[in-house]
Amino acid sequence: MRISITILLALAFFSLINADIGDITTQTQCLANTGSACNNQDSDYQDCIADYNSVNQCTIDKGCSISVQSKSSYTSCVQKCQPKTDQVQKYFSKYLNCINSSRIISAFLITMILAVVLI
């Protein structure tokens, strides 16, 4: 019994390592597909750029940093900076969804591993 639990825990550990690598790849692809916030062909391009820059400055002023904060803290911090235009709002929604998607995948994997271990 102890050997099988040890084997399952080892598999869980290696699965989490692979999940983290997969999360980084998935997150990078998601962010690459997000595109840009503003389209220079739109008539309100200057307003969009100004709003985008304003939100970016807000995140800097509030100290939002994904390299320093956990993903959930970073997401909460960025959400405090509200865009005024729909384009920038949609962009940041997609961006935060990419950041959060890896956290959801990890939570799902951990839940599945615990279910296997406990059964």
Domain range for 42 is 2-118
Q: Which residues contact 112 (CB under 8 A, 6 or more apart)?
A: none
pLDDT at 108: 47
**CA count, 13 A, side-chain hemisphere, 51:** 19
pLDDT at 117: 47
Q: What is the rounded average pLDDT for all residues in the chain?
A: 76
pLDDT by residue (tens digit) across 21-45? 556 677 778 878 888 889 989 889 9
Which residue is listed with tokens 């384009």? 87
pLDDT at 22: 56
Which residues of the chain fall short of a pLDDT of 70? 1-24, 102-119
- Residue 66 in 3-state DSSP? coil
The token pair at 90 is 């949609």
How many domains are there within the chain? 1
